[in-house]
Copies of this chain bind each other. A is one copy, B any other.
Amino acid sequence: MTDYYIEHPKIFVSVDCIVFGFEENKLKLLIGKRKMDPGRGEWSLYGGFVRQNESLTDAAKRVLYELTGLNDIYMQQVRAFGDVNRDPGERVISVAYCALINVQDYDDRLLDKYGVEWVEMNHLPKLYSDHNQMVDSAVKLLRLHVSSKPLSFNLLPELFTLTQLQKVYEGILGQEIDKRNFRKRVKMMDFIEKTDAIDKVTSKRGAALYRFNEKAYLEDPTFKL
């Protein structure tokens, strides 16, 4: 270990995860009440401190794994938040990460274990520190990319109906979409494949289940929804 930068200050660095899920045709966020001081009892994103021998992405993956028991989650950095007094405890710089998870894969017992809940995006409470800002930035980022990149499938199970897919878009974009136009665009993308399976849960008639074929997408990565 060398001492090149010995004269400079070191700072606490944390990661905070904005975990999106899709349930009951609604976009939801996984948040909980803080179990430590400062801010004990306030609604908060789930986060953790970055370790000395851990990259930012590894830290985010670790925190996300702690919280969800899941690996290989879709995750993207939002940005760093660095106001001096953003954290009421001490000076902490935090890097926000946005994650999209399939609620089906999530083990509900973890809700209790970590004291977290799925809360509808439309009914978010005031969060600890600058976490509301982080959520806003994450939503902006999602909106920016969701129509041109195949992110949305991360929020859905392997097989999904077109109505579900549409609701994901409506949830993220915060506006309703015309059903026929939406389906027309889906049809253009061959990598969104209709399967033989049929979902009878949400409709009496039954809805065709679709699948996102990643290999096919990679051959012609043209995405527009």
Residues of A that sit less than 8 Å from B by CB: 1-5, 8-13, 36-38, 49-57, 59, 77, 79-84, 89-93, 95, 144
Contacts and interface: CB of A to CB of B under 8 A. Distances in A.
Contact of A9 (B36, B51, B55, B57): B51
A103 B59 CA distance: 40
Contacts of A37: 4
Contact of A2 (B9, B57, B81, B90): B90
Nearest to A6: B90
A214 to B, nearest CB: 22
Contact of A91 (B52, B81, B144): B52
Contacts of A49: 5, 8-9
Contacts of A4: 36-38, 89-90
Contact of A84 (B54, B80, B83): B54
A4 B38 CA distance: 8
A34 to B, nearest CB: 12
Nearest to A93: B13
A82 B50 contact: yes
Given A4-B90, A38-B4, A90-B4, A84 B9 contact: no
Contact of A77 (B8, B36, B80, B92): B80
A54 B51 CA distance: 22
A49 B11 CA distance: 10
A144 to B, nearest CB: 7
A17 to B, nearest CB: 15
